[in-house]
Structures are given as C-alpha cells and as structure tokens.
Amino acid sequence: MKIIKDKVAKLSFVALLITITAAMFYTPTASAHGEKSQAAFMRMRTIHWFDLNWSKEEVPVNDTMTISGKFYVFQGWPETVDKPEVAFLNVGIPGAVFIRQGSWIGGQLVPRSASLELGETYEFKVLLKARRPGDWHVHAMMNVQGGGPIIGPGKWTTITGSMKDFVNPVTTLTGDTVDLETYNLSNTYFWHGLWYLIGLAWLGYWIRKPLFIPRSIAVESGKAASLITSTDKKVGIAFTAGTIALVAWALAATNEKFPVTTPLQAGLLRNMKTFELPARTISVKVEDATYRVPGRAMQMTLTITNNGDSAVRLGEFNTAGVRFLDPAVYEDQSNYPDDLLAEEGLTVSDNSPLKPGQSRTVQVTASDAAWEVYRLADLIYDPDSRFAGLLFFSDESGNRQMVTVDAPLIPTFI
C-alpha cells in the first residue's frame, strides 16, 4: 500500500510539472487592455491626455507611426497616488507588436524617467516601428513610480505584412551593426536550455526519493533529520559549486568577448520643457455637480466669466479620455476613436456667445453610454467622490482655450 501511494504521489508531481511547463509555452493572443478596470478617479484626476493624434491607422511591418499630443498633469492630484516625480512616457500595447524607437517630451528625448510638475501641460511624441501583424489597441501611457501605469485613450491600429520580414538594425558604439531581433539568439536558446536541464536534473534527483506522504509521516514521527542523507548533502554541494563555477566562467568569457560595455541608463531627467498655453481669459466656478445614474449623464452648474476680448462658447468637456462635444460649436476632425467620442454628448442650457466682460450661470450636461462602458460612473462609489476634467471654449475665430474643473460629484438615482 505504501509503495502504491508513493508511486501515485510521484506521478501526480510529474503531471503537475508537465502542466506548469506546458502553460509556460502557451501564449494566447491579447488585443486590447483592461483600462476600463482602472479606477475612475485615477483616470480623471491624474494625467489628462488631449489633442491626441495617431499618425496612421494601417502600417506595414518595418514601417513607423507616431502617437503625439499633449497631456496635462492635474493640479488636484489624488492623495492616494504617488506624485509623478519619477514618471516614464510609454505606450500601452498587447506585447511587442511595436517597438518604441524614441520618446520625446517638450521636444526633448526621454529614453528614461522624467520628473513632471503638477498643474503643467506637456507636449509629447512616441515613435513606433511595426513588428507583429494584426489589429492592436495602441494607447499613450504614463508609468508613475508608486502610482502604476496611467493609461490614456487607445485606438485600433492594423499592422500588415509578415513578422518574418521584421528587422531591427542598430549600430553599436564600436561601429558594428547588429539586428536586435535575431542578435545572439542561438546563445539565448543555449543558456535557457542549459539552465532548464540543470533544473530538471535537480528535480529528478529528489523525485526518485519518497515524496509527500512518506516524508510527512517521517516529520510527524520526529525523524525529519533522517530524510537528508550524507549523499544528499554532497549532491547539494556539487550543484551549488557547479552553478557558481558555471556563472563565473560565463562572466569571464563574456567580459573577454565584449570588453566595451555601458550600463543601462537610469538617471532622472528634470526641468522638462512645458507647453505654453494661451493666456487664460475665461474663469469657471463649479456651483454643483451631480451624476444621474438612470440617465448615464453628469450635470454641472457652472458660472462662466469671460475676461477676454472675444465672445466664447463651450464646445467640449474631456474627462478620462472621453470627449463630450457640442456639434454646434465644435466638430472633431482628428479621427478620434469612436468609442471615446460623444459627438452630441454635451448640452448647455444657454450656449449663446458669451461676450467679453459677461458672466453667466449655465447647466451643462455630459451624457453618453461611455459613462457606463468605461466605468466612469464607478466614481460615485469612491470614498472621495470627485470628478475632474477639461473644458474647451471656442472664440469667434475658432481659437480654443482650456479650463480645468474639479469638484465633488453627488449621485442621484431618480
């Protein structure tokens, strides 16, 4: 009976090992991201992306595209999220379907993390090279140390061609040109295989011994010390010594073959150039704000004052990448993602031109299914139920001016 139990335990362990190994090689295709699961307050009160542009909707393998635009670092950054003192401009894509060839903030190359200031606006650009064919959701994204990834709006992009044609040539500091896609690939396979075999040998040595049930019985009976024999100790020492010797030899061989190396750059870029917005001539005070749950609509009572020299009208409300527009004032021509664009989602009780020097209190309603689809309505269940966003006003010449809003949000269920 003991022999049968021992064999069953061994077979179970081997089956578990095979299952885990098989799972390592199973890589299902991912196409989009879980940005909808990110907390609504994170998307509303951290990084506001606007004026975004995806240069291409279809791009062949080896060709490039850019994501460009601006982002505003919200002045009322939530206390529960670390401030963006260490932030990295990135892209949200499902794996290495593109490679990032360069990132810029304010025209400055940012190959590493940068420090961002609250209340400032920055211009950015990311250059991407197509690698894997398919339809992919491509986002702008900011990684914040301590705050995690803050995902911006995403757009579907199609990569055509064949991945086998992809090349990624770079010239090293010593003047050699290598293709990073295939460089030293055989060596990579060799070392992965070698360590895998060493690991299997280590497991194989212990699997041949009694496993779970006999060892448990021995421990419970006070004979735990007898489970490790002198031979076991010698084998453990041999594996340890061999591993250290192998690593030392590989390090020496690598240093001899590649005497010129540079470390990965991990410094922090400071004093990033900000984007100078036009002088603000419009002030907005939020009197109150409510979210009507049955109607999937947010209503704000705003007092707007025009201190400029041209009449203005409210044309857009942007929050968490979702844009609510008044088509009588502003029509989007940037081919923005349809699921994030409510072209008729903004209504104003009185949106006649607000003349210079005038003030007006109006009811502004932003309504669309996107409140539920993108789970922005979850904000009403947050302990600090506040909303934030960008209001865009247009004057008689078509110039736009951005004003930020931030206020408590009260839900209504009738």
Are 286 and 377 part of one and the same domain?
yes
**Last residue within a domain, chosen from 170, 192, 214:** 170
Are 118 and 188 part of one and the same domain?
no
CATH of the domain at 340: 2.60.40.1580
Are 186 and 149 part of one and the same domain?
no
pTM as predicted: 0.82
Q: What is the per-residue pLDDT for 294?
A: 85
Are 296 and 404 part of one and the same domain?
yes
Calculate helix-pair angle for 185-207, 230-257, nearest 10 degrees. 170
Q: Does residue 26 lie in a domain region?
A: no
Q: Does residue 41 lie in a domain region?
A: no
Residues 6+ apart with CB under 8 A from 181: 166, 167, 168
Bridge partners (DSSP) of residue 99 are 129
Q: Does residue 360 lie in a domain region?
A: yes
The domain total for the chain is 3
CATH of the domain at 219: 1.10.287.710
Q: What is the per-residue pLDDT for 16?
A: 61
Are 120 and 199 part of one and the same domain?
no
Look up residue 227 and give its amino acid.
L
Are 242 and 300 part of one and the same domain?
no
DSSP string covering 251-313, please? Answer: HHHHHHH-----PPP---B-SPPPP-PPPP-EEEEEEEEEEETTTTEEEEEEEEEE-SSS-EE
Q: What is the per-residue pLDDT for 33?
A: 57
Are 89 and 129 part of one and the same domain?
yes
Are 389 and 354 part of one and the same domain?
yes
Q: What is the per-residue pLDDT for 214?
A: 79
**Last residue within a domain, chosen from 136, 170, 204:** 170
Are 317 and 400 part of one and the same domain?
yes
Q: Does residue 25 lie in a domain region?
A: no
Q: Which residues of the chain have pLDDT under 70?
A: 1-34
Are 373 and 385 part of one and the same domain?
yes
Q: Does residue 23 lie in a domain region?
A: no
Q: What is the per-residue pLDDT for 154?
A: 92
CATH of the domain at 80: 2.60.120.570
By residue range, what is the domain housing residue 145?
A: 54-170
Are 251 and 293 part of one and the same domain?
no
Are 377 and 357 part of one and the same domain?
yes
What does the alpha-carbon distance between residue 250 and residue 198 come to, in Å, rounded to a whole number?
15
Q: Does residue 16 lie in a domain region?
A: no
Q: Does residue 329 lie in a domain region?
A: yes
Residues 6+ apart with CB under 8 A from 275: 70, 106, 121, 122, 123
Q: Does residue 47 lie in a domain region?
A: no
The first and second tokens of residue 140, run together, are 């702008």
**Last residue within a domain, chosen from 117, 146, 170:** 170
Q: What is the per-residue pLDDT for 6?
A: 54
Q: What is the per-residue pLDDT for 206?
A: 85
